Amino acid sequence: MSTAREEILTALRRGERGGNSAPAPWRSRQQFDDLAARFTATLTGLHGEMIRAASADEALDRLGDVLRDLGAARVVVNDEPPLAGVDLAARWPGIAWHVVGRTEGDLRAFCAGADAGVTGADAALAETGSVTVSSGPGRSRMASLLPPVHIALVAAERLTSDILTWAAARSGDLPANVTAISGPSKTADIEQTLAIGMHGPKRVIVILYGE
């Protein structure tokens, strides 16, 4: 007669798992009638800023407006849509650009001295007002963390209810790093007094474009 230990070891060797069926697909309990409205309300409640644009090209126009208002002279950009392939120097002359993965030089030093960092986003999470930003070729998390202003260009089709729904729907391997950014950096470590921008950007601006 085999012991319980032997039965468990035998099952492990065969690669067997308890139960006869796979877990049911994730179904979010979060339901929002208007994902964009919920995302906007949550983001602004976290001291983030929202700009709407009808198209990717209009989003670039709004980006130019923001950079002009900031008086930005040095900007780091992740090499991803909708900026990938755009002639940045021609469209916005007078700005020193560093495109991650394409511009030579010390990326960390440039980011530390940049006026703004511009990225895309994998998702916009309505529940938490967060944008998820991945690292990888042409995409560095330093672009979103080191400059004092982070500008995220997000297609409206990337809106989803919550992070679990997004994770369940995505395919392929996860990148080395995924950061969920919920407004500007905040801390209340000192006497429980809220301070903005202590460990990251002081401003997070999302330009949400498309229908």
Summarised one tens digit per residue, pLDDT across range 133-166 is: 999 999 999 999 999 999 999 999 999 999 989 9
Is 90 exceeded by the pLDDT of residue 199? no
Measured distance CA(80)–CA(102) in Å, rounded: 12
Which amino acid is located at 76 in the chain? V
User: Is the CB of residue 139 less than 8 Å from the CB of residue 173?
Assistant: no
Average pLDDT over the chain reads 88
Burial string for 165-178 (b: 16+ CB within 10 Å, else e) reads: bbeeeeeeeeeeeb
Locate tokens 């929002």: which residue? 32
Q: State yes or no: pLDDT of 184 exceeds 90.
A: no
Tell me the C-alpha distance between 160 and 124, whole Å.
6
Confidence of residue 121 (pLDDT cuts 50, 70, 90): very high
CATH class of 30-209: alpha beta
What is the pTM for the complete model shown?
0.83
Strands, sheet with 123-125, edge to edge from the N-terminal-most edge strand: 159-160, 123-125, 130-134, 178-181
Determine if residue 150 is left, alpha or beta; phi over 0 gives left, psi from -120 to 50 gives alpha, anything else beta.
beta
Looking at the chain, the number of H-run helices and the number of E-run strands are: 7, 12
pLDDT in tens, 18-54: 555 666 666 667 788 999 999 999 999 999 999 999 9
